[in-house]
Structure formats: C-alpha cells, structure tokens
Amino acid sequence: MHKQVVWITGASSGIGKALAAKYAAQGASVILAARRVDVLNGIAEQLPSPERHLVVYLDLLQSDSFATALHQVLTRYGRIDVLINNAGVSQRALISETSMETERRIMELDYFAQIELTKLILPQFEKQGHGQIAFVSSIAGLLGTQYRASYSAAKAALHMWANSLRAEVASKGIQVAVIFPGFVQTDVSINALNGQGQAQGYDNEATANGLSADDFAEQTVKALNKGKEYIVIGGRKEKLGVFVSRLAPPLLYKMIRKMKVK
C-alpha cells in the first residue's frame, strides 16, 4: 500500500479507526472522514507519519459535505486509490416498534449516503483507469434477524447495488468488494437506533465478545489487498449461518427464530 491513497468513512471509531491504522502501517496515505473532526485529528496524529494523512468533515445526512470533502482530497493528493464506505448506523428494535421516520433514516444512512458518495467519486476512478471500492455491509444483510429489519434491508440493498456496480465497471480497472462483518467489539450496539430513532445506549453480550476491531481490520485489509470481492469476517456461528443460508435457507429461518440476538 506504499503511497496509495485510501479514503475511509466513519473513521472516528471502531472498524473505521482500526482500518485507518492498518492502512497507515502499510504505508498508505489515509483520508479520515467523519463528523467529529476533533476526534479524527487526534487519531491522525497517532498514525505513522501523520503528515501523510488528511482529515475531512463528512456528514452522511448532508450531501453538500461530500463534494467539499472530495475537493479537499483531490486538491491534496490528485487521486484516490481505495474508497471504503464504512460509516453507518445499526438498529435494535422490533418492526412493530419502529417508526417510518426511523426506517427512512436507517436507509438514508446505510444505503443512500453510501451510493451517493460512491457515485460522486466514481468518475475519478474511471478517469484514473483504476481504483478499489469496498462497502462494509453486515452478516445481518445476508441473514436477516430480529430487531434489525431496517438495518438488514439496507445492508442487503448495498450488497446488491455493489454487485451491479462490479459488473458495470470491471472493464474499467475498478474493483468492487463487499465486506460482511459479524460481531465486532465496537460501539455499534451502543449507537444502534431504537424504534424512535434514539441511540440504544448500551452494549450487548454478542458484540462485547466479538472479534476485536484490530483483528477485523487485519483480516479485511489482507483480503482487499488480495483483490477478494466477497469477504465474510466473523466467528464460527456467523460463518455457519452464512453457510446454512446458501445450503438450506428454510433451516436457517428455523435457527433464527430460536435465536436471542438483541
């Protein structure tokens, strides 16, 4: 990754922060994007060769921030080699408890914002004749479980959109990957939205006992560097669920109904 330019959204914590550290350690110039610029500045200072990296403000609910960020990036580096769409929000609420406003907000954050940023940057990749786009989906987007209906739907939509994009840009030297994390030790459950769109405010056992963010980042960067396009990263139960979903979907549905996943 020496001298590669890697743009990571949601880089202020969790998976995004861990990915930034891994790419920086491999010699990449990292663009750290999120709303909390003060936090990003602190993270950038801790990365190898801080002067190589760039902090940009990016709010998934404010489209005008996308173009401003892109201008800053191209002014500084003149190109982008890797875009990792990581930012987003999870959910912890039953369908019957979830307002339509919350349904739309999750879809906006986890689907529409991701594809809007990608569509904005895509012409730059086409101009360069190369680039790698990665979307952080979720195993929930492959399986669908209780308390995550809107989140699962958004992540599944992202997966299908990425599949279509991959087919359309393959001849242009652009790679498209989708990453499906299982449980990872981050604040994803704490920040997950309840039915009224408020942060849940507490962690759960599955997340607390999941993979470390550093372990996830190491596996992800390794897979992306190898050019893999379908990347499932998680524990045994999550990987088993993905396997069963392909082999015997009705069996998976029965398994999910018996799970306590909140």
**pLDDT per residue as tens digits for the range 138-154:** 999 998 889 999 999 99
DSSP label at 146?
T
Amino acid 149: pLDDT: 96
Higher pLDDT, 21 or 249: 21
Does residue 5 contact residue 31 with C-beta atoms inside 8 Å?
yes
Percent of the chain with pLDDT over 90: 84
Q: Show the domains of the chain with their CATH numbers.
A: 5-258 (3.40.50.720)
Interval 75-112: pLDDT, tens = 999 999 999 999 999 999 999 999 999 999 999 999 99
- Kindly provide the residue ranges of all beta strands, DSSP E only, lying in 105-237, ordered along the sequence: 131-136, 174-181, 184-185, 211-212, 230-233
pLDDT value at 249 more than 80: yes
Amino acid 125: pLDDT: 98
pLDDT value at 233 more than 90: yes
Judge whether 151 counts as a catalytic residue.
yes
Amino acid 163: pLDDT: 97
Amino acid 144: pLDDT: 87
Burial 91-129 (b: 16+ CB within 10 A, else e): bbbeeeebeeebbebbbbbbbbbbbebbeebbebbeeee
**Entry pTM:** 0.93
Burial 171-209 (b: 16+ CB within 10 A, else e): eeebbbbbbbbbbbbbebbebbbbbebeebeeebebbee
Of the candidates 23, 147, 151, 253, the residue annotated as catalytic is 151
DSSP label at 2?
T
- The CA distance from 243 to 162, in Å, is 21
Interval 108-117: pLDDT, tens = 999 999 999 9
Question: Which residue, among 64, 21, 12, has the nearest Cα to 221 in the 3D structure?
Answer: 21
Amino acid 222: pLDDT: 97
